[in-house]
Structure 1
Amino acid sequence: MAKKTVAEVESGGHEVDNMKWVYDSSVDHKGRIPSRPSTGSWKASFFIIAIEFSERLSYFGIATSLVIYLTKVMHEDLKTAAKNVNYWTGVTTLMPLIGGFLADAYLGRYFTVFVSCIVYLLGLVLLSMSWYLPGLKACDAAICTKPRKVHEVVFFLAIYLISVGTGGYKPSLESFGADQFDDEHGRERRQKMSFFNWWNCGLCSGLILGVTLVVYVQDHVNWGAADVILTGVMALSLVIFLVGRPFYRYRAPTGSPFTPMLQVLVAAISKRNLPYPSDPSQFYQVPKSQSTNARLLCQTQKLKFLDKAAILENNDGSSSAENQSPWKLATVTKVEEMKLIINMIPIWIFTLPFGLCVAQTSTFFIKQGTTLNRDIVLNNNNTFQLPAASIYTLSAIGMIIAVTIYDRILVPFFRKLTGNERGITILQRIGFGMMFSVSTMIIAALVEHRRLQVVHTNPAKGSLSMSVFWLAPQFLVIGFGDGFTLVGLQEYFYDQVPDSMRSLGIALYLSVIGAANFLSSWVITIVDNVTEKSGKSWFGKDLNSSRLDKFYWLLAAITTVNLFVYVFFARRYTYKNVQKVAVADSCEGKSDHNAAHGTKV
């Protein structure tokens, strides 16, 4: 039997075989209705998870050692290097807002990933050239006291090209992977819930190799050799992505998602004086006679002012309503999509302090590792020195442990206990992980206080008498937090945004980390200025002249207060309430599969 085109199904009114065909607005690589057995699901997402593994290997191979490169090769002081790392990480995780918008509105997710991968490759090639080309090298001497200006320019240009590539790559790739599962098919919907967990296992596996193998090459060979390896890995990931093309399900871009929101706002303002109807039939929804694949949203009782945009006035018949300008009359679904974005704002804001804690792992935590004893005794009294950035591996291990326990043990247990398809709600998962961030900062403060005591007791040897594995608890605990909060944020921002904004939704998740990195730099600046005026800055020339323990206690206090505020807003959050147009007789009592059995955490 020949595959059906979208036009044939929609115009001919054929009954869709749910077991054989996927009827969710997606198409296969030839523009036809996708065959369920041969496209999508795990068979396609495994290609995409493999690509994420490769990309994260490259990214963390650079990111975790960046503060060391800036202090050792660029000879920046600790404070300046930490700020530069935070700025770069911030840009890298905010750029997806642009990439996600372009993917959703104009380019499509597949093409955005392809173009972004090329830009990423250019950045890695330039990074390799900055180490090997004589005219671009830091200097000709074995040890540089000050790098050439041209090296600084090319180096920063290269890493910011990687930022641009990541900006399109990250939001599009993850949302493209989640698109491979059909929300209206029970088995695939449950698979999608697991997808985000196993996506992060692939991510962490790449991270582990990045901060062990790649960092080892940086420490024991040179930085340029590591850059060449990363360039080859990214080229391989592009090949893998292209090989999987026949197995993917694709969604066409739908134009700017912000225009309908502006239309809702304009229509609501123009109808602000109309009385609020008591009859639900007086609100305009897409008529049942209109065939569409789009999912409809049920009306909620929050932000009722916006509901006025969907009021049918006395002269609005069903036929005349369809012909009205969208700037004067919006559907209930468009109004509810506007509400979804507004309701996300407090959640986005009150997850920033978690990102503030995460920002310390790639700056101060790594720098702490350089001051501790990293020698590992092998057989016959031989020793191996662990690269400082490799301690970051414990964070990834913690995340893998948390995700595995959550997916295989906690979700099945809580499904039976609560009757919720997810086990616990998404916001509960996020809040649970935020408790780990508080614990991380407390542990980090205690360990740093101990390190400073050792330095004070034995200034000659410093903290070399302490093992680097004193840092293990803080890395493991923040990894546990990542397994709940970061994975939960990915699922939340993908699931709860309008269907047409899912790449932008993943970008919103990434922007939490990006904004938190900028916030971290600002907090460092403010704390530095305030403590300097009071006597001695908490941030000295190096760690031994700093008081990071006090800074960590401050972050612990901030995250504790923030957790209570987050719970206040999360308990009042209403999840997306979806139903297909084919059964849109009434929204009463119906709830979205993805937020089943309850709208509050």
Structure 2
Amino acid sequence: MNWLESSENFWEAMAEDDIYTKDGTVDYKGNPANKSKTGTWRACPFIIGNEFCERLAYYGMSTNLIVYFTHQLNQHSSVATRNNQNWSGTCYITPFIGAFLADSYLGRFWTIFWFSIIYVSGMSLLALSASVHGIKPRCYTDDSCNPTKTQSAVCFIALYLIALGTGGIKPCVSSYGADQFDDTDEAEKKHKSSFFNWFYFSINVGSLIAGSVLVWVQDNYRVAVPIDKSRLHETADAESDIKGSRKIEHTKNLSFFDKAAVQTQSDYIRGSLSPWRLCTVTQVEELKTIIRLLPIWATGIIFATVYSQMGSLFVLQGERMDTHVGKSTFSIPAASLSIFDTLSVIFWIPVYDRIIVPVARKFTGHKSGITQLQRIGIGLFISIFSMVAAAILELVRLREVRRHNYYELKEMPMSIFWQVPQYFLIGCAEVFTFIGQLEFFYEQAPDAMRSFCSALQLTTVALGNYLSSLLVTIVTSVSTRNGKVGWIPDNLNYGHLHYFFWLLTVLSVLNLGVFILIAKWYTYKTPVGTLR
């Protein structure tokens, strides 16, 4: 019997051993690679696709770079040639940096990951340096540009970020693809040879498209925006092309989109302008409006994350407190305390409308007392204190737990009504932020897209809940390492829920800072015929 058992154990061990690769490769966590779940052609299409996109971006930019140096940066031919060759040479020397980091410290996966971020940052900065007013060179004609030293410096910083990024990708990506095949498996070794063929194929397809299509587009569709903005295309009618929509005044920022309203001979089809090839100023401004709204929209996600705590962690916190009303036997559910948020909203709306607005109007002269962005910002500021109140309450509660050894008590003798301030503060913040967002997104949305922008504003609540879920997942994973109970255990008396509330406090402060910067940058939409 013992012989049979040992024999079975032997074959089970052999079968389990067959699951993993035998050439020393590991997964991205550093564990032995499971052949049935990772690697082979499951992963290679993504690696090949990534290489295709990287080469398309690289050659699409580098092939015509010397033309950009001479025409846009106003460099002499010899200077442009030297700069182009120096940069190209750097792109092929930096792989030593990436190779060293990959082999000695990071591994190929994480080297590709982090250097791809550097690469994308460089490409983004390069695009901005060629398109954003103030950063791009000022050109009077296609061949007459006068860049400042700063503008040229931004361009070269972007280029050498790309050179550094490509240095981390080039030496690792082919090896990383080949690593997906087990060297000790004859069938997989055949596939590895095939991988190198398709890998090099993707490089050349990317190069082919970049050197033909992208370069042709760069040379033939590089439209110059006229200095006189009245020359941009717009309808002569009182309304825009979209029935029921007002025309919008031209704005200076995001001016690279103005190219869509520049008339060229190719915009005419059979003697008339094609609406598919030429936009009006209003249509361009509508796109600008949506783009300007997005950063404001994004700052609402952190607020929605704070707001979502009323239905989750506030309730769990309340469950560990005394839910009785006074000394009576009447007990209220912890979730019912959300009525204080509702009562706060009911209280603050008339106070805001009948007291705050008239008083603020006397000082600011603004029809609404304060601007919509100021209203949103005040709400974001107030929401910080709701998290501070929740964190302090949890600190006090845990102090009582430790002092009186209440660890196993489901309800400790501390009234749940101590939670009222945090609910009341969120209700106050809600009146400022949520209602401010409703008005702001309605007022700033293009006339024909107001329903869309209202829906966009509502998605912050969805993303706030998702972000809260993600934060809880990350915090739980990190804080429960090495057998610790973590920040949010089943029994909160053993946990550190206040740490999570402090985390949200910090995120809210950072979010408010970002919002203030964005609000200063924001340009309000101005319909034609109205005064700023």
CA distance in 1, matches of 2:500, 2:297: 24
In structure 2, what is the Cα distance between the partners aligned to 1:289 and 1:403?
A: 38
Name which of 510, 526, 529 aligns with 2:458. 510
Q: What is residue 302 of structure 1 aligned with on the other side?
A: 253
Q: Which residue of 2 aligns with 1:398?
A: 344
State yes or no: 1:283 paired with 2:229: no
Matches within 5 A, 1:462-477: 463-477=411-425
1:101-146 CA distance string (max 9 Å, x none): xxxxxxxxxxxxxxxxxxxxxxxxxxxxxxxxxxxxxxxxxxxxxx
Q: CA deviation at 1:463?
A: 4.4
Shift, 1:269, TM fit: 8.9
TM-score by length of 2: 0.55
Structure-2 residue corresponding to 1:492: 440
Cα 1:409–1:271 change in 2 (3 A) is: farther
Match of 1:311 in 2: 262
Q: Using the alignment, how far apart are the partners of 2:219 and 2:490 within structure 1?
A: 59
Equivalent residues in 2 for 1:235-274 (5 A)?
Answer: 273-274=222-223
Contact 1:414/1:424 (8 A) holds in 2: yes
Q: Which whole-Å CA distance do the structure 2 matches of 1:289 and 1:481 have between them?
A: 40
Q: Residue 272 of structure 1 contacts residue 308 of structure 1 at CA under 8 Å; is this kept in 2?
A: no
Aligned to 2:227, the other structure's residue is in SS state coil
CA shift, 1:316, in A, is 7.7
- Equivalent positions of 1:8-19 (< 5 A) are none
**Which protein is bigger by CA-based radius of gyration?**
2
Aligned to 1:353: 302
| Deviation of the 1:527 alpha carbon | 0.8
> Does the CA-based 8 Å contact 2:239-2:245 persist in structure 1?
no
Q: Map of 1:29-108 to 2, 5 A cutoff?
A: none
DSSP 3-state at the match of 1:506: helix
CA distance in 2, matches of 1:384, 1:530: 40
Q: Does 1:373 align with 2:322?
A: yes
Question: CA offset at residue 279 of structure 1?
Answer: 2.1
Q: Matches of 1:383 and 1:366 in 2, distance apart?
A: 20
Quick one: distance in 1 between partners of 2:346 and 2:311?
18
Which residue number in structure 2 is paired with residue 572 of structure 1?
A: 521
Deviation at 1:387, TM superposition (A): 2.4
Tell me the equivalent position of 1:545: 494
**Residue by residue, what CA displacement relative to the aligned partner does 1:501-548 show, whole Å, maximum 9, x if unpaired?**
222212111110100100101011111111112644112123223211
Instruction: Please report the TM-score for the alignment, with normalisation by the length of structure 1.
Output: 0.49
Q: Higher RCO, 1 or 2 (CA under 8 Å, sep at least 6)?
A: 1
Q: Contact between 2:361 and 2:370, CA under 8 Å: does it hold in 1?
A: yes
SS for the counterpart of 1:464 is: coil
CA distance in 1, matches of 2:220, 2:259: 6
Partners of 1:296 and 1:289 lie apart in 2 by: 7
How far off is 1:550 after superposition?
Answer: 0.9
Structure-2 change in CA distance of 1:331 and 1:433 (3 Å)? same
Deviation, 1:401, is: 2.3
Distance 1:290 1:383, change over 3 A: closer
Offset at residue 461 of structure 1 (A)? 4.5
**Aligned AA (1:448):** E
2:363 maps to: 417
> Which residue matches 1:407?
353
Letter in 1 for 2:427: G
Please tell me the residue identity of whatever aligns with 2:440.
Y
Tell me the equivalent position of 1:120: none
Residue of structure 1 in register with 2:101 after alignment:
none
SS of residue in 1 equivalent to 2:480: helix
> How do residues 548-567 of structure 1 correspond to structure 2 at under 5 angstroms?
548-567=497-516
**Cross-structure match for 2:400:** 454
Which structure 1 residue ranges, 5 or more long, are not aligned? 1-267, 584-589, 592-596
CA RMSD of aligned residues (A): 2.6
Give how far 1:369 is off: 1.9
Distance 1:343 1:269, change over 3 A: farther
Partner of 1:105: none
Go from structure 1 to structure 2 and tell me whether the alpha carbon gap of 1:271 and 1:551 turns closer, same or farther (over 3 Å shift).
Answer: farther
Return the alpha-carbon distance in structure 2 between the equivalents of residues 445 and 423 of structure 1: 33
8 Å CA contact 1:372–1:468 kept in 2: the answer is: yes
Matches within 5 A, 1:512-531: 512-531=460-479
Q: Does 1:330 align with 2:282?
A: no
Contact 2:257 2:284 in 1 (8 A): yes
Task: Select the residue among 288, 298, 314 that pairs with 1:339.
Answer: 288
Tell me if the contact between 1:455 and 1:462 (Cα under 8 Å) persists in the aligned partners.
Answer: no
Cross-structure match for 2:162: none
**Cα offset, 1:398, TM superposition:** 1.5
In structure 2, do the counterparts of structure 1 residues 269 and 450 end up closer, same or farther at CA, with 3 Å as the change threshold? farther
* CA drift at 1:354: 0.9
Partner of 1:101: none
Matches within 5 A, 1:194-213: none
- Check whether the contact 2:485–2:494 (CA below 8 A) recurs between aligned residues: no
Give secondary structure in 2 for the equivalent of 1:384: coil
2:71 corresponds in structure 1 to: none
Identity %: 37
User: What are the Cα deviations for residues 184-219 of structure 1, in whole angstroms up to 9, with x where unaligned?
Assistant: xxxxxxxxxxxxxxxxxxxxxxxxxxxxxxxxxxxx
SS of 1:423's equivalent in the other structure is coil
User: 2:448 corresponds to which letter in structure 1?
Assistant: S
In the alignment of these two chains, the number of paired residues is: 311
Match in the other structure for 1:60 = none
Q: SS of the residue aligned with 1:578? A: coil
Q: Note the alpha carbon deviations across 1:270-297, whole angstroms, 9 max, x for none.
A: 9852222122331111213779542111
State the secondary structure of the residue aligned to 1:427.
helix
| 1:158-182 per-position Cα deviation (integer Å, ceiling 9, x unaligned) | xxxxxxxxxxxxxxxxxxxxxxxxx
